Structure 1
Amino acid sequence: MDTDIKCLSCGETIRGRKGKKFCDVYCKSSYQYQQKKDKSPDFYSKVDKQLKTNRKLLREYNKAGKSTVRADILLNQGFDPKFFTHYWKNKKGDVYLFVYEFGFIKRQENTRDKFVLIKWQSYMG
Structure 2
Amino acid sequence: MERLCLDCKEPLKGRTDKKFCDDACRNNFNNRIKSEDNLVIRHINTILRRNRSILAMLNPTGKTKVSLKKLQLANFNFEYHTNIYTTQTGNTYYFIYEYGFMNLSETEFLLVKREEK
TM-score, scaled to structure 2: 0.71
CA distance in 1, matches of 2:37, 2:79: 27
Question: Which of 89, 101, 104 does residue 104 from structure 1 map onto?
Answer: 101
CA-based RMSD of the aligned residues comes to 3.1
Q: Which residue of 1 aligns with 2:54?
A: 57
Shift of 1:83: 2.4
The AA in structure 1 aligned to 2:33 is Q
- Asked if the contact 1:57/1:79 (under 8 Å) is kept, the reply is no
Alpha-carbon deviations, 1:35-55, whole Å to 9, x = none?
A: 23234746xx37962443332
- Equivalent in the alignment of 1:71: 68
SS at match of 1:19: coil
Identity %: 29
* Equivalent residues, number: 115
Partners of 2:48 and 2:80 within 8 A in 1: no
The one-letter code matched in structure 1 to 2:94 is L
Gaps of 5+ in 1: none
Report the counterpart of residue 15 of structure 2 in structure 1: 17
Name the CA distance, whole Å, in 2 between partners of 1:8 and 1:121.
50
Distance 1:39-1:61 versus aligned 2 partners, 3 A rule: same
CA shift in 2, pair 1:5/1:79, >3 Å: same
Paired with 2:107 and 2:57, the residues of 1 have a C-alpha distance of 19
Once the two structures are superposed, the pairs formed by residues 22-41 of structure 1 within 5 Å of their partners are 22-39=20-37, 41=39
Q: Which runs of 5+ in 2 are unaligned?
A: none
What is the one-letter code of the residue matched to 1:120?
R
Larger Rg: 1
Residues 46 and 121 of structure 1, relative CA distance in 2, 3 Å threshold: same
Q: TM-score by structure 1 length?
A: 0.67
